[in-house]
Amino acid sequence: MIQVVKNLLFLASGRGSNFKSFVDHIRLGILKAVAVKILVSNRVNAPVLEIARIADIATKELVGTSGRSFVSKEEREKARLDFDKQCLELVHQFSIDYVLLAGFDQILSKSFVDSMPCRILNIHPAYDLRAFGGKNMVGSKVHDSVVRSEVRYSGCTVHFVANEIDQGPAILKERVAILPDDTAGSLEQRILAYEHLLYPQALQLLVDGRVFLSDDRTKCYVDRFSDNWDIEWWKRQEAYLRKIQFDTITLQEAQTS
């Protein structure tokens, strides 16, 4: 079956390990029928920009609101809207089908979200997004609150972006156990490994037409199992796991020599 290629725009602010996982999944032929058109960062010199440049992917640094101080709320809002406007122009310029947030630390405006219903995806490093999602719940702050709480497991969630922060319908979720000696840092590292597997899988399901929304658009139903879709996916994703193993061994050898 010939599939129409879907164009992607990534929004990222930092380290870029999720973005790198997408680059690897595409390079290894695991994630099919997608093309990364551009990576946009709201933080100048974010490490993720270098990952994109090495992979020969177009980049754009757009000054956002993160890490900046403003004289007034109005000024901040204006900067946020300017950023979103420029992003939307890129969406049109590159005929973008899906915007993927990958460690993006800025809240998108209502007008941006409303202009792309169910076409913006995010990954959040928690399982329970009601308890561990929302404003200021970004990266290590999420894991800090999880380890300080009484919960037994955390995880990660890929979801559509809606106007209520981190509360859009979930496409895929994975649970990760909290171990007795876990710190926020150790939990983050373990969850991150799951994120790198889950996010590309969720996108492939979407691109393959296997994600369905309830009539009120608050829930997703995902068909992962018919026609052996899951078996085919895991067979392909093995190549990524082998690459990660190889990269880890190579890094360890380099560090000990």
Residues acting as catalytic residues: 124
Give the interface segment with ligand GAR, choosing from 12-20, 29-37, 205-213, 239-247 (CB under 6 A).
12-20
Residues of this chain, 15-34, that bind ligand GAR according to CB under 6 A: 15-18
Q: Does 125 bind ligand GAR (CB under 6 A)?
A: yes
Closer CB to ligand GAR, 64 or 103, in the complex: 103
Q: How many CA atoms lie within 13 A of 126 on its CB side?
A: 23
Q: Does 155 bind ligand GAR (CB under 6 A)?
A: no
Residue 136 CB coordination number (10 Å): 10
To ligand GAR, the closest distance from the beta carbon of 242 in angstroms equals: 21
Bridge pairing between strands 153-160 and 170-177: antiparallel
List CB contacts of 236: < 8 A, sequence separation 6 or more: 28, 29, 30
Position among 23, 100, 113, 138 found at the interface with ligand GAR (CB under 6 A): 138
Closer CB to ligand GAR, 92 or 148, in the complex: 148
Tell me the DSSP string of 6-48: EEEEEEE-S--HHHHHHHHHHHTT-S-SEEEEEEEESSTT-HH
Q: Does 129 bind ligand GAR (CB under 6 A)?
A: no
Q: How many CA atoms lie within 13 A of 243 on its CB side?
A: 18
Where do contacts with ligand GAR occur on this chain (CB under 6 A)? 12, 14-18, 102-103, 123-125, 137-139, 142, 192, 195
